[in-house]
Chains A and B, each alone.
Chain A
Amino acid sequence: MEKRIKAPLTDEIVLSLHAGDKVIIDGPVLAARDAAHAKLVELLDKKENLPVDLQGQIIYYVGPTPARPGYVIGSAGPTTSSRMDKFAPLLIERGLKGMIGKGFRSQAVKDAIMKYKAVYFAATGGAGALISKRIIKQEIIAYEELGPEALRLMVVENFPVYVVNDAYGEDLYIQGQQKYAR
């Protein structure tokens, strides 16, 4: 099924999504990779305030090519999500509702997705040029010193993703394969 949703997410939106749905996202999403995740989790461990309110947010795991002059961003496809697995459960507990990346998640992440009603989307790996055109704005909001790994806020329009892990414990990586195995 194809659905169109607006970020940030509510419980109601999250619960309407099921593994196997194609979803078009419009609105603001955060962009962060390993280094920015480590910094966010360090702040939470020290019980300090985060540079951004995580409530209802989606984080896109991305490390783009440098932008050409006049372009919003360079090629910007998803990066491997498993590198964020050790940080994700805590961020989900603190209000994060969605993650966009590629590849398997750990059991701990899947458990947090169910417990706190969140969702994991796959974006198409290797579709960096197409995705680049669906990002209409971006700005650095923290950790500028990390360069391409800084924490960013992006505004996306018509951003295509697929629900892999939903709040009901379904997993498209497992179920999709089972359906087509011969």
Chain B
Amino acid sequence: MRTIKEEEILNAVKKVCIEAAFDLSKDVKEALNNALQAEESEVGKSILRELIENAEIASRERLALCQDTGFAVFFVEIGEQMHIEGSLNKALTEAVRQAYQEEFLRKSIVADPLRRKNTGDNTPCIIHISFVPGDKLTIMFSAKGGGSENMSRVGMLKPADGIDGVKNFIVETARLAGPNPCPPIIVGVGIGGTFEKAAQLAKRAIFRDVGKHNQDPFYADMEKELLVKINNLGIGPQGLGGRMFALAVNIDAFPCHIASLPLAVNIQCHSSRHRVITI
């Protein structure tokens, strides 16, 4: 049995929380550069140039990429051959608390959805845990902005709605989002499972690097087809008209009940602050 200490996790996670806030990940940078080449609208090009310059300034000046420094969401894969000395929950929460306080990141979490008092340190976090073979600990982190999260949708479709029903729902979700999620966006899709599993799959899908497709060719083709359809809406960067409304469509699927077809679409903005660490 391999042992990993709480403190080791805390330090590693804190480091990536900070890095994600200031350094745009390589996949998104590349995607923005490609989008600039493909964009036809002058306004759209000007916006994409601003976003590329924004990433340079953020990194150089240690200024957050976006002032909404997000809700900390983790997917944690725990190897069955390892054991954590101390508390995983404490390590993740404390990492976020320290990162947000020490690096002047915005505290955007309220303690109660209706009474709305700010917790003051951007905690708690959202933590999804699964167990995998092996002795490694993999932690995926994303700081999820509110503007794009708010444009996400879940639908309990009927199996008879089929593939066309699914595609229409996804394109319609993107259309309804319009300028609000600060396009260009990344569209995360979860198909199957149950009501909550579909949403979790969609969230997990936005953690995937832009440009990487589903390993199943059936879903990889669907991702490519939907990206074209969504960009053909003409909504463009920031919703001001243009070719590049979305950078990627990432789909994840899971077995489901004979009577259901759950579907979730999670919208992610270009300020996709995601990181993966393996300990």
Contact = CB atoms under 8 A, between A and B. Distances in A.
Interface in A107-143: 122, 124-130, 132-133
Interface string A166-179: 00000011011111
B83 interface: no
B43 A20 contact: yes
Contacts of A179: 41, 234, 241
Interface stretch (A8-16, A41-49, A69-77, A90-98): A69-77
Interface in A141-171: 148, 160, 162, 164
A126 B54 contact: yes
Contact of B51 (A80, A122, A127, A164): A127
B46 interface: yes
A104 interface: yes
B182 A177 contact: no
B63 A75 contact: yes
Interface in B42-76: 42-43, 46-47, 50-51, 53-55, 57-58, 61-69
A177 B235 contact: yes
A32 to B, nearest CB: 15
A126 B182 contact: yes
- If over half of B's interface residues share one DSSP class (helix, strand or loop), that class is named, otherwise mixed; here it is loop
B262 interface: no
Contact of A128 (B54, B178, B232, B234): B54
A171 B236 CA distance: 15
A176 B43 contact: yes
Given A102-B179, A104-B178, A160-B50, A128 B67 contact: yes
Contacts of A125: 66, 147, 179, 182, 238, 269
A75 B43 CA distance: 23
A122 B178 CA distance: 13
Contacts of A124: 47, 50-51, 54, 182, 238
B33 interface: no
Instruction: Assign chain B's interface to a size class.
Output: 35 or more
Contacts, number: 161
Contact of A176 (B41, B55, B63, B269): B41
Nearest to A132: B63
B232 A130 contact: no
Contacts of B47: 124, 162
B233 A181 contact: yes
B97 to A, nearest CB: 15
B65 A177 contact: no
A175 B235 CA distance: 10
A130 B66 CA distance: 9
A68 B62 contact: yes
B270 interface: yes
Interface string B225-260: 000000011111011111100000000000000000
Contacts of B54: 124, 126-130
Nearest to A68: B104
B238 A162 contact: yes
Contacts of B57: 129-130, 132-133
B106 interface: yes
B242 A133 contact: no
Interface in B176-214: 178-180, 182
B266 interface: no
Contacts of A175: 241
Contacts of A63: 67, 106
List 3 A-B pairs, minimum CB-CB distance, nearest first. A176-B241, A125-B182, A180-B234
Given A65-B63, A180-B236, 4 more contacts: A62-B67, A124-B51, A127-B54, A128-B54
